[in-house]
Structure 1
Amino acid sequence: MTQQQTPPTLGMGLSPANPEYQKDPFTLLDDVREQGRAVYDELFGRYIVGRFEDVQQILNDRDLNVDPRKADESSFMANFRRRFTDDTREPSMLFLDPPDHDRLRGLVTRAFTPRSIEQMRGRIGEIANELIDKVEGQSSFDLMKAFCQPYPTIVIAEMLGVDPNDQADFKRWTDDGVAAGFDPFAGEEKQQRAKVAREQLETYLRKAIAERRAEPKDDLITALLHAEDEGNFFNDEEVVSMVALLLGAGNVTTTDLLGNGLKNLLQQPDQVQILRDNPSLITNAIEEMLRYEGPVTFTGRIAVDERELAGCPMHRGQSVTLAIGAANYDPRLHKDPHKFDVTREDIDHLAFGGGRRYCLGAPLARLEAQIGLETLLTRFPNLRMPEQELVWKTVPGFRGLEKLIVEV
């Protein structure tokens, strides 16, 4: 007699509405991945793909769409559009397909260069130390509030050229705007705060753009305005949208990379000691943090025609959800994937996506995480994490802590 497989958890079970998922999404995603190469989620009208090789291949497929306006009306991506996007406005680059996506990405890469990021290395270290200065002398504090949340916001604000006197407002607009951006569980008050924050941020950015056009500066806003690619330039609204994307996508993911990674590290004092004994492993530790509990658990694609993906026939407009959190735990690729190991060799992960949509901010996120981790371990020789009930954010597709209490 053959043993029957237990159906995997699907639908709302793979969302923060499920306490079991909030506590440990990766075990549930293991079940989905091992059920088959493409598992149909009837409630949400999507296929879920979770094996590393399949997810990587689909991420690298340049023919697939992401614009939810092109999805089948009964599909998950169409429902996403109705809930989260404003059809009266052009989507951000994140949800555009070629040629619009390629034009905008080509322009932003002219401004957001590895050189401009590397030039920030010294200042990023100063920002990390300045934040730690504010909590020095306290026996315990919330690491998310004190460090992980403000750290990337201040870095990108300084790159943009935001006046230091405006940075408190800038951080509030960013925090409030992002808080409800992808959260279907956000209440009316939270959504209203987000709406006001986005409007105030856009007003601020339009004023800054006008000032940079009249008097250019050595900052990222000016670089975006002056970026040119084969005769193409950004218009003002595209710069506003791009800055909002850099803030929203970049800050949240770097915050959660640090928060999740430090939680996993501090839960295993032996791993902390390994890094203290051999700081050269910090770069490798960041990659293990990205693999083990990265900030993004799902991303999506839309079939453009009748085709086969992950061994399954798909129709035009079909939603395909790529389970990054399942792929990064695929035992076909990693031995003992549920073990957090900063010495792990040959780490491969899909935390930054892939293909033409590989995360533009990956070099900055890695640099911030490496400097942040090294600074925290240096400044706090006895940094540890007491027993506590972890509270996770309720944003589907993302993984991040509301707070993380540490003792020093």
Structure 2
Amino acid sequence: MRRSSGWRGSAMTETATNEVPLGIQLTPLNPEYQRDPFSLLDRVREAGRVIWDEQFGRWLVARFEDVHAILNDRDLLVDPRKANDKSFNAMFRQRLLGEDREPSMLCQDPPAHTRLRGLVSKAFTPRAIERMRPRIEEIANELCDRVEGQERFDLMTAFCQPYPTIVIAEMLGVDPKDQADFKRWTDDSVAAGFDPFASEEVRQRAMRAGEELQAYLRRVIAERRAEPRDDLITAMLRAEENGDFLNDEEVLSMIGLLLAAGNVTTTDLLGNGMKNLLQHPDQAQLLRERPELIENAVEEMLRYEGPVTFSGRIVPDDRVIAGCPMQKGDSITVALGGANYDPRLHKDPHKFDVTREDIDHVAFGGGRRYCLGAPLARLEAQIGVRVLLERFPTMRLAQQELKWKRVPGFRGLEELWVEV
């Protein structure tokens, strides 16, 4: 069964003098990488502890012990404004932040990050998430009802995409009559933000949707200040620590982070997980026969093909990391997918096994930046997978070629056609 990410291996003494093996392109534009990033990351991981990626001007780390240590290093930074101009992070600075905009909590360093996370944690509690369990199950069944009787449908459009959006909308207290607009605004605004190759038309639509969504949420925040309710927005407005509260713009930023990072990753966790179950029908049947394995199965889904493949850190000063001398402002990219396939930790890492024991993974990151929404994502995945397997016992893949999103650092399907 799953255990916390506290593994420690034997100390490694290799030096980091290697570069990315010739011919490997770790980009979604590479068809080989899109088909199977994990085999390419195997080659990177075995080439050395720390690998220099000349193409993107970054250090790559893919061994579990080193990835775990870097994720838990409290000195390392994430604010892309602190990266060297030639580093990988600088490429995304304008896109993520613009010149004047403050970064979201995801891209902030202490003390700002510590303050925001402390306040938000008081609202986004495990108890609040657990209270949603019955309603999450209802939502999963309602989505299945919509495709009942259809012989063939796209599981991403029918279930994996709307499911987490509806859940978070209800947690936020979005009025049912507004949920269709809320989903459209969310889908359109997130589409361009997570696709650096989006067309100008998609970008313009995303900009308009983002403006409409922000205007709507500002109205809701104002309403909750005047008339509090039992929802997540009210909880964030009420969250207090030593007399400190979140202001309206900070609440708005946190909602945006939940919608972008939370919805997309949960959608891809479900899509990837169901794809792997359908590609391994013996494992799907085992889950139907032994539903008590569902929690373990979700951890294996996270390890085997989690929604986030890379995470970044920035070196705060000249220092040695994982045996490699680095300079202030250098960018480190940790390959979460490579670490989760490290044979030093997992036997037969390329085998999808819902009964795997002692599953350890870094799919949710680690340290002070461990994913705040992990309990909700786990609960949604456990309920969603179980309901789908129960409602559609003969579900099978209806396509041979899979189409993956072209989003750096993420792993998710454009569509997943199934027959039932």
Measured at CA, do residues 288 and 374 of structure 1 come closer, stay the same or move farther in structure 2, by a change above 3 Å? same
Counting matched residue pairs gives 403
Stretches of structure 2 lacking an aligned partner (at least 5 in a row): 1-17
Aligned mates of 1:99, 1:55 — CA distance in 2? 24
Q: CA deviation at 1:135?
A: 0.2
Q: CA deviation at 1:338?
A: 0.5
**SS in structure 2 of the partner of residue 216 of structure 1:** coil
Check the 8 A contact 1:9/1:32 in 2, yes or no.
Answer: no
Aligned mates of 1:30, 1:193 — CA distance in 2? 39
1:250-261 map, 5 Å = 250-261=262-273
- Choose the corresponding residue for 1:290, options 298, 302, 313: 302
**SS in structure 2 of the partner of residue 313 of structure 1:** strand
Q: CA deviation at 1:6?
A: 10
Which residue number in structure 2 is paired with residue 229 of structure 1? Answer: 241
Give TM-score scaled by structure 1 length. Answer: 0.97
1:130-209 map, 5 Å = 130-209=142-221
Aligned mates of 1:348, 1:246 — CA distance in 2? 25
Which residue number in structure 2 is paired with residue 8 of structure 1? Answer: 21
Which residue number in structure 1 is paired with residue 406 of structure 2? Answer: 394
Q: Deviations over 1:47-77 (max 9, x none)?
A: 0000000000000001110000011111111
Aligned mates of 1:185, 1:164 — CA distance in 2? 33
Q: CA deviation at 1:9?
A: 5.6
**SS in structure 1 of the partner of residue 45 of structure 2:** helix
Check the 8 A contact 2:19/2:52 in 1, yes or no.
Answer: no
Check the 8 A contact 1:150/1:171 in 2, yes or no.
Answer: yes
Is 1:374 aligned to 2:372, yes or no? no
Aligned mates of 1:330, 1:198 — CA distance in 2? 40
Is 1:307 aligned to 2:329, yes or no? no
Which residue number in structure 1 is paired with residue 350 of structure 2? Answer: 338
Q: CA deviation at 1:228?
A: 0.5
Q: Deviations over 1:74-128 (max 9, x none)?
A: 1111122133322221110000000000100001000000000000000000000
- Choose the corresponding residue for 2:360, options 344, 348, 352: 348
Q: Deviations over 1:12-58 (max 9, x none)?
A: x2111111111111111111111111100112110000000000000
- Choose the corresponding residue for 1:217, options 229, 232, 252: 229
- Choose the corresponding residue for 1:276, options 280, 288, 294: 288
Check the 8 A contact 2:404/2:411 in 1, yes or no.
Answer: yes
Which residue number in structure 1 is paired with residue 341 of structure 2? Answer: 329
RMSD (CA atoms): 1.3
Measured at CA, do residues 127 and 10 of structure 1 come closer, stay the same or move farther in structure 2, by a change above 3 Å? farther
Which residue number in structure 2 is paired with residue 108 of structure 1? Answer: 120
Mean Cα displacement is larger for which, 382-391 or 52-61? 382-391
Task: Indicate the percent of aligned positions where both proteins have the same amino acid.
Answer: 73
Aligned mates of 2:205, 2:322 — CA distance in 1? 41
Aligned mates of 2:355, 2:92 — CA distance in 1? 39
Check the 8 A contact 1:156/1:247 in 2, yes or no.
Answer: yes
Q: Deviations over 1:227-270 (max 9, x none)?
A: 10122110100010000001110000000000001001111111
Check the 8 A contact 2:61/2:332 in 1, yes or no.
Answer: yes
Aligned mates of 2:293, 2:151 — CA distance in 1? 28
Letter of the 2:278 partner, please give it: L
Letter of the 2:379 partner, please give it: L
**SS in structure 1 of the partner of residue 237 of structure 2:** helix
Give TM-score scaled by structure 2 length. Answer: 0.94
Letter of the 1:355 partner, please give it: G
Check the 8 A contact 2:74/2:367 in 1, yes or no.
Answer: yes
Q: CA deviation at 1:10?
A: 7.2
Q: CA deviation at 1:273?
A: 1.2
Which residue number in structure 2 is paired with residue 406 of structure 1? Answer: 418
**SS in structure 2 of the partner of residue 47 of structure 1:** strand
Letter of the 1:15 partner, please give it: T
Q: Deviations over 1:259-289 (max 9, x none)?
A: 0010011111111111111110111000000
Is 1:36 aligned to 2:48, yes or no? yes
